[in-house]
Chains A and B, each alone.
Chain A
Amino acid sequence: MEFLQALYANPLLFYAVLAGLLASVCSGVIGSYVVVKRVVLISGSIAHSILGGIGLCVWLQRAHNISWALPLYGALITGILSALIIGWIHLYYREREDTVIAAVWSLGMASGVIFISQTPGFNVELTSFLIGNILWVSPQDLYLLVLLDAIVLTFVVLLHKRFLAICFDEEQAKLQGISVKFYYLLLLTLIAITIVMLIQVVGIILVMTLLTIPAAIGNMMTSRLSRMMMAAVILCALFTFTGTATSYYLDWPSGATIALLAGAFYLVSLLVINRSRRVSYQ
């Protein structure tokens, strides 16, 4: 109750909860593709490489007074670039895929750390991007989240059947004249956009939790990808809301609290579902 009153009284907290809910929409939908297409590692690499773009923009802003170089733009550009590079390697040089994933992962992180080390002043923003600080969300960020939600959802509504086909059986999709390479790269790009949205909420290090855990729980509950997406959106929204509320009461970092809640819920669901399966086999 106290949290709800604080929500009403404090616009920062209200923006934080709204940002969490907006990010949950894309997270549940795109996270479901990440889980069923088994591109969790690729998504992890995209997420970590984003620090390079963020670091560059923070450096441009602070060291060179280029005010329009917002870290979020840097995150978006680096995320999409990394997605396209990894996707291209996956499609054309599959035997080196894991090495490239690791290279993009560490190069992004390393360049981000170096740019930030060269930036004058105390870098609270680095911590905020790494472990998240949902309470820093501004009204402009909310508009951007709405726009990104709209872009991602429009693509999904129009292309879901095609994405479903390439996630389940690439060979068959190809035989039916679907450009598997194009849709694979597009899917990775949408994953990159979603990761950038989620970084606002939980930060780079914890982003994979929100992207994969709600979808993985959803996968245990349903027999259709569309229903798995709905379940994942609801769970993700639940985790971000209860996580923000818990962090408010306990004065914990919001991103870590959200990730902890999601992780604990996943472990409990695994135990419950495995137990119920064992009972039904007996």
Chain B
Amino acid sequence: MNSKPAVQFHDVSFGYDHLFTLEKINFTIQPGDFVGVIGPNGSGKTTILKLILGMLQPREGKVQVLGKLGYVPQRLHLDPKFPISVRELVLSGRLSQLPWYGRYSQADKDIAERAMETVKIADLKDQRFGTLSTGQAQRALLARALAGEPKLLILDEPTANIDPESSAEIHQILKGLAKHMTVIMVTHDLTTVIHDTKKVLCVQEGVTEFSPDEVCEHFAIGLYHAPLIQKEDS
């Protein structure tokens, strides 16, 4: 394959004050990959996402990212009482295209409409974001990211605290999206990682790459047992 990688980490180190949380990290994600990022709490999964998004800068090394980014955060940090409709939320994904006079074009509105249809929330567009169920809210945030027409979609635990039915629906949508764009998803849901993704990055004292089959083999009898996640040199 001659295409440039969608994401490349070259010897990336990151830390706060004198403490390094990530040291000499190297990995590559190719365009079209559907990547699951797993690991114990506090291992640095979200830090890796933020380094890709440019919200954090590495202390050493280089992060290269190709193409436009879309980010779906966890819903938790957003104010449920904020007066914003689903339509306004999704349109805010076109903010980078907003002209100086502050009015979205018809093309922007059409793109936002299509994004809502893709994640099946078009019928909720006039509802207040805070009144949506957790699953619907997550799909609205996904629609906002899609409205930006990203090449690389990054999701931080998109199915955390969501009922199994809504969770399955979101995974189905993500599988469809992964046919057209690169998707990187932090998750604790190993079943999804095994069945849906093409590649797995396990973050624990470094980053180890696995194929979904290896995850099945390594994690079937317990989560993140240190000896189990060390990939053998073979």
Binding site for B on A (CB under 8 A): 36, 38, 157-162, 164-165, 167-169, 171-178, 219, 222-225, 227-228
Q: Which residues of A contact B92 (CB under 8 A)?
A: 161, 164-165, 168-169, 172-173
Please determine whether B98 and A224 come into contact, CB atoms closer than 8 angstroms.
no
Which of B17-25, B82-90, B172-180, B185-193 touches A?
B82-90
- Alpha-carbon distance A167/B96, docked complex (angstroms): 16
Docked CA distance A222–B81 (Å): 11
A178 adjacent to B95 (CB under 8 Å): yes
Chain A residue at minimal CB-CB distance from B72: A172
Is B139's beta carbon under 8 Å from chain A? no
- 4 other A-B residue contacts (CB within 8 Å) besides A36-B82, A177-B96: A36-B79, A172-B144, A225-B82, A225-B84
Number of chain B residues whose Cβ lies closer than 8 Å to a Cβ of chain A: 31
> Given contacts A158-B101, A175-B71, A223-B128, are A164 and B84 in contact (CB under 8 A)?
yes
Over the window 68-107 of chain B, the binary record of Cβ atoms lying under 8 Å from chain A Cβ atoms (1 yes, 0 no) is 0101010000110111110011011101101011101000
- Interface residues of chain A: helix, strand, loop or mixed (majority): helix
Nearest opposing residue in chain A for B131, CB measure: A223
Bound: A157/B55 CA distance, A: 29
Q: Inside 8 A of A165's CB, which chain B residues have their CB?
A: 92, 95
Asked whether B162 is an interface residue with its Cβ less than 8 Å from the other chain, the reply is no
- Assembled-state Cα–Cα distance A248/B58 (Å): 65
Contact A176 to B100, CB < 8 A, known contacts A36-B83, A171-B55, A223-B127: no
A222 CA to B172 CA, complexed, in Å: 33
Question: How does the 8 Å CB contact mask read for B121-149 relative to A, with 1 for contact and 0 for none?
Answer: 00000111001000000000000100010
Q: Is B102 a contact partner of A168 (Cβ separation < 8 A)?
A: no
Q: Please report which residues of chain B, range 41-87, place their CB below 8 angstroms from some CB of chain A when the two chains form the complex.
A: 53-55, 69, 71, 73, 78-79, 81-85
Residues A160 and B83 in contact, CB atoms below 8 Å apart: no
Q: Is the CB of A228 within 8 A of B95?
A: no
- B88 contacts which chain A residues (CB < 8 A)? 164, 224-225
Chain B residue contacts of A169, Cβ below 8 A: 73, 78, 92
Q: Is the CB of A162 within 8 A of B85?
A: no
Point out the residue from B95, B100, B101 that lies within 8 Å of A173, measured CB to CB.
B95
Given contacts A172-B71, A175-B69, contact A223 B85 (CB under 8 A): yes
Whether A219 pairs with B81 at a CB distance below 8 angstroms is: yes
Contacts of A223 in B (CB 8 A): 83-85, 126-128, 131
Within 8 Å by CB of A224, from B81, B84, B100, lies: B84
